[in-house]
Amino acid sequence: MKPFLEKLRQLYPSDRLYEDNARLTPYVSDGLTVFREKPIAVVMPLDSDEVVDTLKLCHEFCVPFVARGSGTSLSGGSLPIDEGIVISLNRLNRILSIDPDNRTARVQPGVINAHVSAAVTQHNLYFAPDPSSQSVCTIGGNLAFNSGGAHCLKYGMTSNHVLGIKVALPDGEIVHLGNDSLENVGPDCVGLFVGSEGLFGIALEIQLRLLPIPESFRTILASYDSLEAAGEAVGTVVASGILPGAMEIMDKLAIEAAEAAVNAGYPQDAEALLIIELDGEAAAVEAEFTALTAAIEQTQAKEIRIAQDNDERLLIWKGRKSAFSAVGRLSPDYLVQDGVVPRSKLGEALKEISRLGSESKLRVANVFHAGDGNLHPLILFDGKEKGALEKAEALAGKILRLCLKLGGSITGEHGVGVEKKAFMPEMFSEADLDAFKRIRQAIDPHEISNRGKMLPGHEAPALSHSGPHPLEKAGIISRM
């Protein structure tokens, strides 16, 4: 490792190369703190050339690296790699150009998601993907994990909003994927790169697609006496043929937490809350709104509220987007799951999750993208209690299996990361995983780019608690 570090020191001044304990320690975790691993160094490149030089060095010495933005991954996607380095992209945070006529913006990977929309709002444009962490998370991370958000239902995920990428492959070779068009010739390489969880190298420049800000919004809150009733209401709305911009559900625990965090004004007596937003041309939205209210009236809503102005609308969303972190008020620790079920199985899934929760004697808060069937059960536990983390992880595993059994997926938008890679063999066959591995190795023969993420195999992450991880016990993962 010494010769590698010596060369790294030639590349970076000491204020952009961290090797001491105090400066490495804060990088041991991202948004998922149950996994912790200390890198051998953290570097802070200032431009693309420095990134490429760093990759060439890593390739030469077979040193694994992970690119990191704001470290908000909920699947451990930016967890450092043992004996590896962290490439912090926070200073590659420039919006390089904005093209209002083509509705595109070219940005560096360290740009914060919300900053893109802020920079183009003067042109009446915005960047549609809106993960709850959008005020913090970076475009590079959105790209790597194909981040979603509340408005995926109508507008799709990050992948649907990336037109072109300048990529540094894991050996430092530069390649341009896509272009400035929605269309493409040849295989959709941009499509493959987005969501590859950092296994194919580092995006240096990203051409984003922007959308005109909708002329009009209608945001509706409907409260229900049970989570199931809210779930069924989603079915009613979908069946009516209306395509809302977003359809979200929060349960009582999540409402309580969000309310404590931002005073969003949610009804406090509701067991479940359904948030529906329509957007588009004013005339079209008004016509849809009439149809939507008619549909909701058929459901068992006990109260229907409509946001009266934009401030009220933003407050409703602020509450929803703070919900995950706000659950920190209810419990010292929690695990967030991200499974997806077919929309018609929502009610069934929620009932079973609640049953599994009480069986494990753990509280589960629910806040999720109902329109997409993308669940976010938050499993609350107290890490100080012996065996609590293991119990929570076991419940998380049961929930993931439930999603698969119902024909869904183990992750809708948080990615596999380290957290769910042990479940990949349950979703994919050996041949499928082998194909993934072949693609990975063709692009990254030494497997240095974010080693240990998404694909099963390789070293298990360091765990903060003592005793073997339940997945270790099951023989699925192992620790060095």
Partner 1 sequence: MENDFKLHEPQTIAELQSLIREASIISLNTRKDSPSPPNTITLSLSGFQKIVEYQPEEYTITVEAGAKVSDVISILDEQGQYLPFDPPFIDKYSTIGGMIANGYSGPGGNRYGILRDFILGLTFIDGLGNRIKTGGKVVKNAAGFDVPKLMVGSQASLGVITEATFKVFPLPETYRTILFRFDTFESGHAALLALGRSRFTLDALDLDSQGSLVIRLSGQSDSMDVRIQALETLIGRSHEVFSEDKSIWTTSLKLQAFPQAGLLLKIPSSPTSIRKIEAELAPYSTQRRYSIGGFVSWVHSDNSVCELSELLQKLDLAAQIVSGDTIEHVIGTDHPRAFYDRIKQALDPQRKFANIYKK
Partner 2 sequence: MLHNISETALTPEYSGMIKPIESCVHCGFCLPTCPTYSTMGDEMNSPRGRIFLIKETLEGRMDPSEIEPFIDNCLGCLACVSSCPSGVEYGELITPYRAWSESTRERSFTEKLQRFALLKTIPHPSRFRAASKIAHFFKPIARHLPKGFGAMIELAPEELPPKHEFKDHYPAIGPQRGQVALLIGCAQQALAPRINAAAIRVLTRNGIEVVIPKSQGCCGSLAMHIGESKEACRAARKNFDAFPTDVDAIITTAAGCGSGMKEYTHLFAGQDIEEQIQANAFSSKVMDICEYLDQIGFIPPKTNDSAEIKVAYHDACHLAHAQKIRSAPRSLLQSVTGITLLEPAEWEICCGSAGSYNIEHPDTAKELGRRKVANLYDTGADIIATGNIGCLAQIEFHSKDKDTPIRVVHTVELLDEVDRKERC
Q: Yes or no: say if 45 and 51 are a contact pair by the CB < 8 Å rule.
A: yes
Work out whether 386 is an interface residue with partner 2 (CB under 8 A).
no
Q: Return the residue of 174, 188, 314, 332 that touches partner 2, per CB under 8 A.
A: 332
Stretch that binds partner 2, among 88-96, 171-179, 286-294, 434-442 (CB under 8 A): 88-96
**Is there binding between residue 284 and partner 1 (CB under 8 A)?**
yes
| Residues in region 42-61 near partner 2 by CB under 8 A | 42, 44
18/12 Cα distance (integer angstroms) = 10
Q: What is the DSSP letter of 274?
A: E
Task: List, as one string, the DSSP characters of 382-419.
Answer: -TTSTTHHHHHHHHHHHHHHHHHHTT-BS-SSS--TTT
The CA radius of gyration of the chain, in Å to the nearest whole number, is: 22
Strands 303-306 and 216-224: antiparallel
From the list partner 2, partner 1, none, pick the one residue 11 interacts with, judged by a Cβ distance below 5 to 8 Å according to partner type.
Answer: none
375 contact, one of partner 1, partner 2, none, CB 5-8 Å limit per kind: none
Q: What are phi and psi of 104, to 5 degrees?
A: -135, 160
Interface with partner 2 (CB under 8 A), residue from 4, 12, 34, 142 = 34
Which entry of partner 1, partner 2, none binds 277, CB below 5 to 8 A by partner kind? none
Token pair listed for 228: 């199931």
Which entry of partner 2, partner 1, none binds 480, CB below 5 to 8 A by partner kind?
Answer: none
Q: Which of residues 284-313 bind partner 2 (CB under 8 A)?
A: none
Q: What angle do CA 113, 114, 115 make, to 5 degrees?
A: 90
Binding segment (CB under 8 A) for partner 1, from list 191-199, 301-309, 327-335, 376-384 = 191-199
Q: Does 102 bind partner 1 (CB under 8 A)?
A: yes
Which partner from the list partner 1, partner 2, none does 157 bind, CB cut-off 5 to 8 Å by kind? partner 1
Contact stretch for partner 1 (CB under 8 A) within 8-16, 35-43, 44-52, 97-105: 97-105
Is residue 317 a contact point for partner 2 (CB under 8 A)?
no
Distance separating alpha carbons of residues 343 and 73, to the nearest angstrom: 25
Q: Which part of the chain contacts partner 2 (CB under 8 A), choosing from 69-77, 172-180, 230-238, 341-349? A: 69-77
Binding residue (CB under 8 A) for partner 1 from 146, 219, 299, 449: 146
Residue 95 interface partner, choices partner 2, partner 1, none, CB cut-off 5-8 Å depending on type = none
- Chain positions 48 to 87 lying near partner 1, rule: CB under 8 A, are none
Q: Which of 8, 81, 246, 262 is close enough to bind partner 2 by CB under 8 A?
A: 262
By CB under 8 A, the residues from 115 to 144 that bind partner 1 are 123-125
Indicate the residue among 318 and 351 with the shorter CB distance to partner 2. 318
Binders of partner 1 in range 207-266 (CB under 8 A): 212-215, 235, 238-239, 241-243
Among 136, 305, 348, 428, the residue binding partner 1 under the rule CB under 8 A is 428
Three-state SS at 18? strand
E runs forming strands in 231-349? 246-251, 272-280, 303-306, 333-336
Query: Could you give the C-alpha distances from 459 to 74, 82, 453, 455, 467, in angstroms and in order?
Result: 19, 8, 10, 11, 16
88 binds partner 1 (CB under 8 A): no
d(CA 168, CA 154): 32
Closest CA to 182 of 200, 205, 215, 159: 159
Please state, as a whole number, how many other Cβ atoms lie within 10 Å of the Cβ of residue 307.
20
Among 180, 269, 382, 385, binds partner 1 (CB under 8 A): 180
Find the DSSP H helices in 25-160: 48-61, 113-120, 139-145, 152-155
Two tokens, residue 49: 């050339």
Closest-CA residue to 154 (of 129, 133, 131):
129
DSSP-derived letter for residue 449 is B
97 binds partner 1 (CB under 8 A): no
Residue pair 162/208 in contact (Cβ under 8 Å)? The answer is yes
Query: Judged by CB under 8 A, does residue 343 bind partner 1?
Result: yes
The pairing of beta strand 85-88 with beta strand 41-43: parallel
Among 49, 269, 303, 432, binds partner 1 (CB under 8 A): 432
Instruction: Verify binding: residue 373, partner 1, rule CB under 8 A.
Output: yes
Residues forming the site for partner 2 (CB under 8 A)? 18, 20-23, 25-34, 42, 44, 70-72, 88, 90-91, 93, 112, 133, 135-137, 258, 260-262, 322-329, 332-334, 383-384, 389, 464-465
